Amino acid sequence: MNLLGNLDCEATWASVALPEPVRRRISLYATLFAAMAPEGVAHQLWAPAAVDPARLIAQPGWTPPIVRTDRAPAAFDLAWADPAARAANDRSANLAIAEALGVALPGSGVVGSLAELDARVAALASQPWIVKARWTAAGRDRARGAGDVAGELRTRIGRMLERLGPLVLEPWLDRIADLGVCGEIAADGSVTVAGPHGLRSDPRGGFLGIELEPALAPELTATLTATAHAAATQLAAATGYRGRFAIDAFVYRDGAAHRLHPLCELNARHTFGWVARALGDRLGIRRLGFDPPPPGATVLIAPGDDHVTAWCA
């Protein structure tokens, strides 16, 4: 079975060349995509860069794919991301969906220049903020600030605008839990969604793993699944996208209260939430991690000098 492990899809859509260490890292992670394919079938996976097969650890119920980097076939049995799904993954378009649903964060917007950024940041009244490229993943191509945009930060964001075009601005909030919902848009445009999963993140919002069974209040689960369904319905109508998707959301601290932001990201592709679910079906696991493996974890990608690893438990 031929798999396209194009975890560099956002960079391709943004016309950005990824550094070779990043290409090698995402290629190792791409091997986990084979969990989405049927068991008992030999898999070939085309990845952005070569990987050391010794890093890929076979387990009962899990056989890593054969990784290839030569000329890819014209068609694939399964792809991490549809190469034609650029518009469906544009963060500015996804922000428009959040605005239409009434769930966009106050102060969010698209900025095409430093002058526009200055005006929006002034309206935030010294509240911390973040700007993100319209196509990016794993915490790349973003910058955080608080108050005026000055000095080295201003220079950096100016270069981002030159290189990446308009950016999406959001207030940076005191997050206490990150969540996600996987779903699928069928050929007829109908939408199905699964139950929420937890997203493990570092203090800067970097992705560390998936928790498949978070303890959530029923009303929070209902809001997340309803938002995922509504967002995907709008996405399908606006772009014609069909296939797997996932939304990201988070709970944040607002004074003494905890509030849910139910639509932070809308990813029109496979995500590691999908991979964790597939590994859960195969191996009975409930956690997928990308930080140092804890005692007793099942290692899928052996740790190396590049600090890349993957484990489940």
Q: What are the tens digits of pLDDT across the range 16-58?
A: 899 999 999 999 999 999 999 988 888 999 999 999 999 999 9
**Which residues is 301 bridged to in the sheet?**
56, 310
Residue type, 272: F
Find the mean pLDDT for residues 264-270.
Answer: 96
Task: Take residue 2 and report the two structure tokens written for it.
Answer: 């031929």
Contact assessment for residue 71 and residue 136, using Cβ atoms and an 8 Å cutoff: no
Task: Take residue 263 and report the two structure tokens written for it.
Answer: 């639509």
**How far is the CA of 286 from the CAs of 24, 181, 197, 209, 281, in angstroms?**
27, 15, 10, 11, 10
Q: Is the pLDDT of residue 74 over 90?
A: no
Q: Is the pLDDT of residue 178 over 80?
A: yes
**How far is the CA of 273 from the CAs of 123, 180, 190, 305, in angstroms?**
35, 7, 21, 26
Please return the burial class of 74, using the count of CB atoms within 10 Å of its CB with bins 0-12, 13-18 and 19+: exposed
Q: How confident is the model at residue 165 (pLDDT cuts 50, 70, 90)?
A: very high
Question: Helix, strand, or coil here: 171?
Answer: strand
Task: Take residue 206 and report the two structure tokens written for it.
Answer: 């970097």
Domains and CATH numbers, the chain: 2-81+273-312 (no CATH), 87-103+174-269 (3.30.470.20), 109-171 (3.30.1490)
* Phi, then psi, of 246 in degrees rounded to 5: -155, 150
> Which pLDDT score, from 0 to 100, does residue 58 have?
95
User: Terminal CA-to-CA distance of the chain, rounded, Å?
Assistant: 27
> Which pLDDT score, from 0 to 100, does residue 138 have?
64
Q: What is the largest CA-CA distance in the chain?
A: 57
Measure the CA dihedral 160/164/170/174, to 10°. Answer: -60
Contact assessment for residue 170 and residue 129, using Cβ atoms and an 8 Å cutoff: yes
Find the mean pLDDT for residues 90-96.
Answer: 97
Contact assessment for residue 89 and residue 267, using Cβ atoms and an 8 Å cutoff: yes
Please return the burial class of 256, using the count of CB atoms within 10 Å of its CB with bins 0-12, 13-18 and 19+: exposed
> Which pLDDT score, from 0 to 100, does residue 120 have?
96
Q: What is the pTM of this model?
A: 0.94
Q: Is the pLDDT of residue 104 over 70?
A: yes
| Whole-number percent of the chain with pLDDT over 90 | 91
**How far is the CA of 301 from the CAs of 59, 86, 97, 133, 137, in angstroms?**
11, 29, 36, 29, 20
* From 65-74, 172-181, 200-209, 285-294, the region with the lowest mean pLDDT: 200-209
* Residue with tokens 């002058």, as numbered in its chain: 115
Let me know the angle formed at the C-alpha of 7 by 249 and 309, rounded to the nearest 5 degrees: 85
* Residue with tokens 């605005």, as numbered in its chain: 99
> Which pLDDT score, from 0 to 100, does residue 112 have?
97
